[in-house]
């Protein structure tokens, strides 16, 4: 691919402009248009001479995502965006409004290889990794479309972020550094299904982001039934990686735990989960699983969810139940994109 200008750090952009024989302050202007003013095209960059804009246009394709469909929940205002990428692929992102600010959940890959059984994003396999610019522009495009500032970002949509590690790090760098949107690292959450070596590598990067581990089961046997990744990385290695992350960063890990009726929601599961989360000082986020029609998993009942939460609290575990946002729209991650692909095929 041609050089992706929106994925360059400010330093890289300075070098690139110098290489082009341009004054180095042009790099600052360009960077400001891309990552602070969130320009959707070179055309908007009015303080950059027309001749340079033309040259950039010819040499550097400009990533700017276009919405294909936007759904808005009538229940809570959550908006789901389906964006088209330049190669015809599509990705989903979700915008949620909370008291503490606006949060965007982005995708990190087109499709996913991980095969988690409760997830619609993986049903058609993996297509490709997203570029840093394509991750950034999900946030930028949503800011342009809503006219509201984004304060929190979660990398929890389609894809396994640790499987696109280098691009993830560049994305975090550009999103959080002072010349761009300057979002606090503390307001960024990255989720993983548990790629142990990458969790350890991330721990060594000196970041203060939150790591969320999709745990969903407390024994290897149960976890293997839900998540094929558990065949490769076992529970003891996973817990070691969590301890290492906490030790290195001082950041408390979140355990994401989807409650599936009759599979992982018994009092015994709650006890085992307490035993895992307690020593690591983890926060537990219980997720009433979002049913997808291709699988038979059912959501645990309200009574079971409450009993599960109470049991954890009794064991002094810090626990929340994730509020279900946008229940009336294609809620589960990957569903909107899938529907579109199949509608297009049937046309």
Write down the least CB distance from residue 144 to ligand SF4, Å.
26
Between 112 and 276, CB nearer to ligand SF4: 112
Q: Where are the beta strands (DSSP E) in 123-228?
A: 126-129, 152-155, 188-192, 210-214
CB-CB contact of 236 with 194 (8 Å): no
DSSP structural state of residue 252:
P
- Annotated catalytic, 160? no
Give me the least distance between CB of 33 and ligand SF4, in Å please. Answer: 32
CA distances from 149 to 87, 146, 152, 184 (A): 28, 8, 9, 13
Whole-number Cα distances in Å, 283 to 90, 121, 188, 277, 287: 33, 25, 16, 7, 13
Nearer to ligand SF4, 122 or 274 (CB): 122
Q: Are 263 and 297 in contact (CB under 8 A)?
A: yes
Tell the smallest beta-carbon distance from residue 236 to ligand SF4 (Å).
21
Q: Which is nearer to ligand SF4, 181 or 227 (CB)?
A: 227
Instruction: Kindly list the residues in this chain that would bind ligand SF4 in the complex (CB under 6 A).
Output: 112, 114-116, 119, 121-122, 158-160, 193, 214
Active site residue: 16, 18, 333, 344, which one? 333
Please say which residue, 105 or 174, places its beta carbon nearer to ligand SF4: 105
Cβ at position 229, least distance to ligand SF4 in Å: 7
Q: How far apart are CA 231 and CA 194, in angstroms?
A: 11
Query: In the bound complex, what is the minimum distance in angstroms from residue 118's beta carbon to ligand SF4?
Result: 7
Closer by beta carbon to ligand SF4, 134 or else 160: 160
* Cβ 129 vs Cβ 176: under 8 Å: no
333 is catalytic: yes
Active-site pick, 16, 57, 92, 119:
92
- For residues 278-290, b (16+ Cβ closer than 10 Å) or e, as one string? eebebbbbbbbbb
Catalytic residues: 92, 333
């Amino acid at each position: 691919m041609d050089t992706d200008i929106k994925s360059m750090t400010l330093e890289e952009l300075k070098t690139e402009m110098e290489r082009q024989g341009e004054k180095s302050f042009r790099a600052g202007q360009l960077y400001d248009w891309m990552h602070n003013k969130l320009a959707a095209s070179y055309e908007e960059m009015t303080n950059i001479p027309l001749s340079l804009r033309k040259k950039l246009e010819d040499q550097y394709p400009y990533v700017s995502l276009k919405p294909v469909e936007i759904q808005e929940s009538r229940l809570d205002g959550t908006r789901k965006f389906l964006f088209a990428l330049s190669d015809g692929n599509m990705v989903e992102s979700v915008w949620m409004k909370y008291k503490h600010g606006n949060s965007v959940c982005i995708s990190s890959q087109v499709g996913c290889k991980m095969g988690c059984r409760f997830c619609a994003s993986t049903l058609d396999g993996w297509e490709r990794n997203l570029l840093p610019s394509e991750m950034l522009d999900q946030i930028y495009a949503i800011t342009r479309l809503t006219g509201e500032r984004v304060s929190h970002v979660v990398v929890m949509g389609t894809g396994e972020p640790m499987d696109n590690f280098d691009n993830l790090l560049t994305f975090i760098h550009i999103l959080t550094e002072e010349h761009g949107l300057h979002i606090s690292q503390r307001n960024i959450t990255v989720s993983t299904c548990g790629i142990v070596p990458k969790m350890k590598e991330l721990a060594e990067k000196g970041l203060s982001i939150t790591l969320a581990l999709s745990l969903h089961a407390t024994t290897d046997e149960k976890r293997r039934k839900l998540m094929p990744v558990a065949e490769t990385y076992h529970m003891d290695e996973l817990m070691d990686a969590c301890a290492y992350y906490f030790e290195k960063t001082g950041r408390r890990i979140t355990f994401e735990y989807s409650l599936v009726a009759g599979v992982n929601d018994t009092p015994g599961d709650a006890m085992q989960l307490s035993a895992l989360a307690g020593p690591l000082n983890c926060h537990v986020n219980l997720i009433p699983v979002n049913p997808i029609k291709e699988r038979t998993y059912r959501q645990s009942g309200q009574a079971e969810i409450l009993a599960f939460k109470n049991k954890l609290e009794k064991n002094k575990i810090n626990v929340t139940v994730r509020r279900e946002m946008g229940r009336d729209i294609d809620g589960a991650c990957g569903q909107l994109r899938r529907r579109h692909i199949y509608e297009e095929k049937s046309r």
